[in-house]
Structure 1
Amino acid sequence: MLTAVIHSIETPEQLDAILKQYPAVLLLFGAPSCGVCQVLKPQIATLLAKDFPRMQLAYIDCEAQVELAARYQVFSLPVVETIFYGKSFARFSKVFSLGDLKGAIARPYELLNAE
């Protein structure tokens, strides 16, 4: 099965570097204690590898990275945010489907590929 590389974010500087380096990044805010987050992580990685291979997946453990969770105003888990060229395009929290996520990524990703 094809899966995207998951960048596990250890510092705010590491996240900033990834956001500068790649034009398309999906942020997944989760925690080891969040069962839904742990189920979503490989599913999102597979979705990105299959349908959006130029998009990077960055995982932020909110229990370890409280500063980043606060910076992105994450108050409940899971939270997924799509970033294109440093700008937020879509954000989902708590209850959402992979279909919702795929639909939100498709249009801006299509524009990315038009370049």
Structure 2
Amino acid sequence: MIPIAEEQQLDAALASHPAVLVLYGGRTCGVCQAIKPQLEAMLAGEFTEMAACYVDCQGEGSAICAQQRVFSLPVVQLWFEGQPFDEFVRVFSIGEVRRAIQRPYAALFDQA
């Protein structure tokens, strides 16, 4: 995952990739640290064109988290063509994230 520490980095990632998953987490958030490798594996195996970014809300990314109105962890945001598509907060499964990605990803990258 691309580490994001400043709003400009997030804006650049959203502008330069047609599909982006952003994980807002924290170093001391056990759930965040557990789902991070699962999300990375899912993207690497199924959604290879989707970029992944990580914002550490308990560290250098705290200002971004406030600007994005992220006040509880973990949060996963899905962006397609620079627009917010879906958001998952606190209680969700990797399967839910997968299902939310499938249709817009297939349409964007012409996959069946």
TM norm structure 2: 0.94
Aligned to 2:110: 114
CA distance in 2, matches of 1:16, 1:87: 11
User: How far did 1:72 drift?
Assistant: 1.2
* Runs of 4+ deviating beyond 6 Å: none
1:19 corresponds to 2:20: no
Matches within 5 A, 1:13-92: 13-64=8-59, 65-92=61-88
List alignment gaps of at least 5 residues for structure 2: none
Which residue of 4, 12, 15 corresponds with 1:9?
A: 4
CA offsets 1:43-73 (integer angstroms, 9 cap, x no match)? 0000001110000110000122122101211
Pick which of 11-20 and 38-47 moved more: 11-20
Task: Give, in whole Å, the separation in 2 of the partners of 1:109 and 1:78.
Answer: 22
Amino acid at match of 2:51: Q
Q: Deviations over 1:1-60 (max 9, x none)?
A: xxxxx1011211111111110000000000001000001111000000111000011000
Q: Which amino acid aligns with 1:112?
A: L
**TM-score, structure 1 normalization:** 0.92
**Which residue does 1:3 correspond to in 2?**
none
Measure the CA separation in 2 of the matches of 1:35 and 1:16.
Answer: 27
Q: What percentage of aligned pairs have identical amino acids?
A: 45
Alpha-carbon offset, residue 114 of structure 1: 2.1
2: CA distance, partners of 1:63 / 1:46: 24
Aligned residues: 110
Tell me the equivalent position of 2:94.
98
Aligned partner of residue 89 in structure 1, secondary structure = strand
Structure 1: gaps (5+ residues) = 1-5
